[in-house]
Amino acid sequence: MEYNAPFFRLYEAFFLKLKGELGKKGIEIWQNVMRDALITAYTKSGAKRLGGVDEFIKYVGERDRSVGLKVTFEKNDKGFIYRFHTDPFPGLKGKTNWKHLVEAYLAVKKDFFLGSEWEYTTTKHIWDGNPYTEHIFVKNTP
């Protein structure tokens, strides 16, 4: 599937308008809208809440690819790595901190599929000159 520029441009325009009009509160609203949209998409596609790593990889991968994002996953003994080889929001580069965007889409994916015992770290980001954005997921162990 080809990158769905109109889909992502709509989210970019919505983000810029909310941020411009409401500042931090606008970013929070945008993040909540993103959360609700993703939960609806995953639920309608048949994904199970707290389905685990394999469910995450299957449904997140399918959803991302359906809007034209190239993503890869790499499982390891501590968790997995989730890489974006496509920048979903290139029109926002230089207009906001990428962390606002990552938090909007990544926290909901983690919470929906994996739960609170998991955490992630973004170790690379396309906007920082890296060839991809990399999120490392690990399960907290007591």
Residue 20, pLDDT above cutoff 80: yes
Percent of residues, the chain, with pLDDT higher than 90: 97
DSSP H helices in the chain: 5-22, 24-44, 53-66, 98-113
Q: Given this model, what pLDDT does residue 141 score? A: 78
Residue 142, pLDDT above cutoff 80: no
List of residues 6+ apart from 73 with CB closer than 8 A: 57, 61, 80, 81, 82, 83
Q: Which residue has the tokens 């325009």?
A: 13
Closest CA to 74 of 98, 53, 88, 59: 53
Residue 27, pLDDT above cutoff 90: yes
Give me 119's structure tokens. 């955490």
Domains assigned to the chain: 5-139 (3.30.1380.20)
Q: Given this model, what pLDDT does residue 39 score? A: 97
What phi-psi label fits residue 69: left (phi over 0), alpha (psi between -120 and 50 degrees) or beta?
Answer: beta
pLDDT digits (tens, 9 = 90+) for 84-106: 999 999 999 999 999 999 999 99
Q: Given this model, what pLDDT does residue 125 score? A: 98
Confidence of residue 1 (pLDDT cuts 50, 70, 90): confident
pLDDT digits (tens, 9 = 90+) for 61-77: 999 999 999 999 999 99
